[in-house]
Amino acid sequence: MESLVSLNCSEQVVCNSPLSTASIWQDVLAQAVTGELMAAMNYSALSTICDDPEEVAEALEHAQGEQGHAAAFAAEGRKIGVDVPSNVNARYWKRIREAFMRSIAERDFIACLIVQEIMLESFAVASYTRVGKAAPGSLGKTFAAIAAEEEGHIDHALDILRSERAKGPQRFDDKVYRLHLDVMTTLAEMVGKECRHGQCDLCHSSCVKPALSEVGLSTVELRGASLQQYLKTLDALGLPGEVTLQWVTQLPV
């Protein structure tokens, strides 16, 4: 993992700011750490269904990289004086994990790539990029650096998935749509304006969403950027845009 920029004077704004601001970043980091730890678990599980030794090694390397990302985010929390929690069994993350593990149970390597590399990484790239612009000091630089690394995962997966789609476009697109309904519905709810089905199990007190504006963020912007990245990635795969746009407009808001 690339070395990350050390604490600088701009971060002192965060350290000396009201506790509420540090608490907001704590909740943002909790989501990021949990997502990275779950990604590490997903890649480790993926390694168990790979037949090619090179694919096994690559999956395990990705798992190690995601653990490094989680550690980097946790370290940023300590710099601003907060302990960052994680909970892969939190409401939304548990549902996503269960969806991924259904593909593992079916030994469907392609489905696993679609969930992890296309859906989850699209959200990570877009949301981390946006947070990277809003967060001060090395906190922002860390989010931006990890967003760039995650984008590399997407690019690598696109080559594999384009080849798979060429074998049977309709069959492939039907699979993506099935996974879209299962996974993207949950991701859309996660970045919805409100948590309609109860707390996410990661915010340390009340839901952080109404307070995001205090640090220059909003769920509307994060959701919009994430779905735009997702559509861009599906377009790069070759799926017809008029179809995928309909998929996205039907997601919960």
Q: What percent of the chain has pLDDT over 70?
A: 90
- The reported pLDDT for the residue numbered 229 is 95
Please list the ranges in the chain whose pLDDT falls under 70: 1-19, 195-199
Q: Within a domain: residue 112?
A: yes
Q: What is the rounded distance in angstroms from the CA atom of residue 75 to the CA atom of residue 143?
A: 12
- The reported pLDDT for the residue numbered 250 is 93
Q: Within a domain: residue 4?
A: no
CATH code (residue 141) = 1.20.1260.10
Based on the structure, what is the number of domains in the chain? 1
- The reported pLDDT for the residue numbered 252 is 86
- The reported pLDDT for the residue numbered 192 is 76
Q: Within a domain: residue 230?
A: yes
- The reported pLDDT for the residue numbered 201 is 76
Q: Within a domain: residue 156?
A: yes
State the DSSP string of 97-135: HHHHHHHHHTT-HHHHHIIIIIIIHHHHHHHHHHHHHHS
Burial grade of 29 (CB within 10 A; 0-12, 13-18, 19 or more): buried
- The predicted-structure confidence for 29-80, as pLDDT tens digits, reads as follows 999 999 999 999 999 999 999 999 999 999 999 999 999 999 999 999 999 9
Q: Within a domain: residue 153?
A: yes
Residue 131: closest CA among 115, 144, 148, 119:
144
Q: Within a domain: residue 173?
A: yes
- The reported pLDDT for the residue numbered 175 is 98
> By residue range, what is the domain housing residue 73?
10-249
Q: What is the pTM of this model?
A: 0.88
Q: Within a domain: residue 129?
A: yes
Q: Within a domain: residue 2?
A: no
Q: What is the rounded distance in angstroms from the CA atom of residue 172 to the CA atom of residue 239?
A: 9
- The reported pLDDT for the residue numbered 197 is 63
